[in-house]
A and B are shown apart, each in its own frame.
Chain A
Amino acid sequence: MLRDITLGQYFPGDTVAHRLDPRTKLALVVLYIVGLFMAKNWISYGLVFLVTIACMAVSHIKPKTLMKGLKPLIIIIVLTAVLNLFYTPGTQIIEGVPMTWEGLKKAFLLVMRILMLISGTFLLTYTTSPIALTDGLEKAMNPLKKLRFPVHEMSMMMSMALRFIPTLTEETDKIMSAQKARGADFETGNLLQRAKALIPILVPLFVSAFRRADELAIAMESRCYHGGEGRTRMKQLKYAARDAVAYLLGILFVAAMVVLRHYGL
Chain B
Amino acid sequence: MSIIKVEDLSHVYSEGTPFEKTAIHNISLTIPEGEMVGIIGHTGSGKSTFIQHLNGLLKPTSGTITLDGRDIYESKQFTHDVRFRVGLVFQYPEYQLFEETVYKDIAFGPSNMKLSEEEIDERVREAAAFVRVEEELFEKSPLELSGGQKRRVAIAGVIAMRPSVLILDEPTAGLDPGGCQQILQNICEYREKSGSTVILVSHSMDDVARIADRLVVFSKGSILMEGTPEEVFSHPDELTEVGLSVPEPTSIAMALREKGVDLGSAIYTTDQLVSAITRWKGGPVC
Contacts and interface: CB of A to CB of B under 8 A. Distances in A.
Contacts of B52: 177
B112 A178 contact: no
Nearest to A184: B112
A153 B87 CA distance: 46
A207 B57 CA distance: 24
B14 A178 contact: no
Contact of A181 (B17, B55, B98): B55
A80 to B, nearest CB: 29
Contacts of A182: 83, 96, 108-109, 112, 157-158, 161
Given A3-B14, A174-B90, A204-B95, A180 B113 contact: no
Contact of A183 (B18, B90, B93, B109): B109
A48 B75 CA distance: 52
Contacts of B108: 179, 182-184, 200
B130 interface: no
Query: Which of B18, B98, B158 lies at the interface centre, i.e. has the most chain A CB atoms within 10 A of its CB?
Result: B98
B31 interface: no
Interface residues of B, number: 26
A177 B57 contact: yes
Q: What band does the interface of chain A fall in when counting residues whose beta carbon is under 8 Å from B?
A: 20 to 34
Given A177-B90, A182-B157, A204 B57 contact: no
Contact of B87 (A4, A180, A181, A185): A181
Interface string B141-156: 0010000000000000
Contacts of B87: 181
B77 to A, nearest CB: 13
Nearest to A12: B18
A52 to B, nearest CB: 21
Interface in B185-214: none
Interface string B128-168: 00000000000000010000000000000110010000000
A179 B98 CA distance: 10
A208 interface: yes
A11 interface: yes
B18 A11 contact: yes
A245 interface: no
Contacts of A181: 55, 57, 83, 87-90, 158
Interface of A: 3-4, 6, 11-12, 65, 174-175, 177-185, 199-200, 203-204, 207-208
28 contacts: A4-B14, A11-B18, A65-B17, A174-B90, A174-B95, A175-B96, A177-B57, A178-B93, A178-B95, A181-B83, A181-B87, A181-B88, A181-B89, A181-B158, A182-B108, A182-B112, A182-B157, A183-B83, A183-B108, A183-B109, A184-B112, A200-B98, A200-B108, A203-B98, A204-B95, A204-B98, A207-B95, A208-B95
Given A203-B98, A208-B95, 19 more contacts: A3-B14, A174-B95, A175-B95, A175-B96, A178-B95, A178-B96, A179-B96, A181-B55, A181-B83, A183-B80, A183-B83, A183-B84, A183-B109, A184-B112, A199-B98, A200-B98, A200-B108, A204-B97, A207-B143
